[in-house]
Amino acid sequence: MKFNENAQLDPSGVRGGGSGGGRIAVGGIGGLVVILLAMFLGIDPAGLIGEATTTAGASAQPTLQNCRSVGDLDADRECRWVAYQNSIETYWGSAVQGYQPATFSPFRDQVTTACGNATSDVGPFYCPSDRTVYLDESFFDVLEQQFGASGTPAVEAYVMAHEYGHHVQNLVGILNQIDRSTGASSAAVRSELQADCFAGVWFAHASDDPNGPISEISAQDIVEARAAAQAIGDDRIQQSATGRVDRESWTHGSSAQREKWLLTGYRTGDPNQCDTWSASAGQLG
């Protein structure tokens, strides 16, 4: 991934965490790990987010407010998060009529949101009640150390673009279709695969804006994003954690499904091709 060194950045969409109670957060890429393990161990995964009693808030890194240009990445690598966010928001702002921006909130350890309190165990997630993408950067260490996916800019951008995919779903009313059912063709899996597809669509358009922060998405970037999607498939995580695969408990989709829909978005560049809701069980992958 190459950045446009002359591009200006807007950090105004980065903030700390909110508070209060509301709709349950949408489990993103990281939430899959802890939720699956909880289900296999007989723990109610709902208690991991939305019902916690911890009151500590988010610690959005103040340095991100100083990220005003891509050139600032030379002094502070954390500015890359602003670059990803700006590019993702610019694309969806042009693709979705009446698009309303989300907020990005990096945190460490634990965070208070409008969906309740959460810890870093949940990983990245989107809260529809405050329209915010929450991300604990330590998740990428877990992704690399436990699941073999490298923590490259392409992988980081994939994770963020996936969570913003849930924001798009929220804006157009798709999130209302999700229930607590599980399984290889459940609503939860269809939602996650669509978010993967939306991430792929963004990759296809990330360098469209000549004045935007990202000037090039390479073939290697897509290879790395695909590897990350494969690494966090339900089947691969289940096999690693328990030695068996249970399709009926899937919440995010298999490695093959996640890779397929990421590539569908990337190769078509068309969010209308991300209709996982109309796809038959066989078409999901």
For the chain, the domain total comes to 1
Which residue type, as a one-letter code, is found at position 86?
N
Question: Is 278 inside a domain boundary?
Answer: no
Spatial distance between the Cα atoms of 165 and 253, rounded to a whole number of angstroms: 16
Question: Is 98 inside a domain boundary?
Answer: yes
Question: Is 283 inside a domain boundary?
Answer: no
Give the model's pLDDT for residue 56: 36
Question: Is 68 inside a domain boundary?
Answer: no
What pLDDT, in 10s, does the model give residues 156-192?
999 999 999 999 999 999 988 788 888 999 999 999 9
- Element housing 64 (H / E): none
CA neighbor of 204 nearest in space, from 167, 170, 157, 166: 157
8: which strand partners? 69
With a cut of 80, say whether residue 150 has pLDDT above it.
Answer: no
CA neighbor of 18 nearest in space, from 121, 105, 124: 105
Structural domain containing residue 165: 9-62+87-273
Average pLDDT over residues 112-118: 87
With a cut of 50, say whether residue 200 has pLDDT above it.
Answer: yes
Spatial distance between the Cα atoms of 178 and 206, rounded to a whole number of angstroms: 28
Average pLDDT over residues 148-159: 83
Question: What is the average pLDDT value for the chain, to the nearest integer?
Answer: 83
Question: Is 70 inside a domain boundary?
Answer: no
Decide which of 77 and 37 is more confident.
77
Q: Count other C-beta atoms under 10 Å from residue 130's C-beta.
A: 21
Question: Is 123 inside a domain boundary?
Answer: yes
Question: Is 160 inside a domain boundary?
Answer: yes
Spatial distance between the Cα atoms of 162 and 173, rounded to a whole number of angstroms: 17
Question: Is 106 inside a domain boundary?
Answer: yes
Spatial distance between the Cα atoms of 246 and 238, rounded to a whole number of angstroms: 8
> How do beta strands 214-216 and 2-3 pair?
antiparallel
Structure-derived torsion over alpha carbons of residues 158, 69, 105, 152, reported in degrees to the nearest 10: 30
Average pLDDT over residues 206-224: 97
Average pLDDT over residues 2-16: 90
What are the structure tokens assigned to 153, written together? 């800019």
With a cut of 80, say whether residue 256 has pLDDT above it.
Answer: yes
The whole-model pTM stands at 0.86
